[in-house]
Structure 1
């Protein structure tokens, strides 16, 4: 599992120009089961995505299709972790 930490590299008005395309990218990844949660940071300096993709190189390929990445609007930090405890609602995350 990965936490994807996005940090914007440009002004918000540039980010906003590609926001709808980014949301379409996110929606496609949710439909494929790759992403579990996502949202803006506060203050709005970027965002965070929780991904259940198991392979870092596969996740990097997915991220390359993000309009924010394509247009060099954000830096991406991938933090891999193994959940050892979750709420009952998220128990599926640790079941293999």
Structure 2
């Protein structure tokens, strides 16, 4: 299993606010399927970060591209494979 850091920078704050319940429901669904390691928003309003778990970049990109924030254009996304190291 690999980890992928997905940054979701803000594009449209009003759309993001309206779609927040849909986005959170989508993340809950993905978490229940075992695809999410951790998630959270940046307190400065920049956007959010989700650490996904999956087999490869293509799998994660397919999941992220269906997020209501991304579909609506409320957020952009950027994916980077992440190598976790515990302190």
In the alignment, structure 1 segments of 5+ residues that lack a partner are 88-96
After the TM superposition, list the runs of 4 or more consecutive aligned residues in structure 1 that deviate by more than 4 angstroms: none
TM-score (norm 2): 0.90
Match of 1:26 in 2: 27
Higher relative contact order (CA 8 A, sep 6+): 2
RMSD between aligned residues: 1.2
Number of aligned positions between the proteins: 85
* Unmatched runs of 5 consecutive residues or more in structure 2: none
| Aligned partner of residue 78 in structure 1, secondary structure | strand
Deviation at 1:65, TM superposition (A): 1.3
Indicate the structure (1 or 2) with the bigger Cα radius of gyration.
1
> Normalising to structure 1: TM-score of the pair?
0.82
SS at match of 1:18: helix
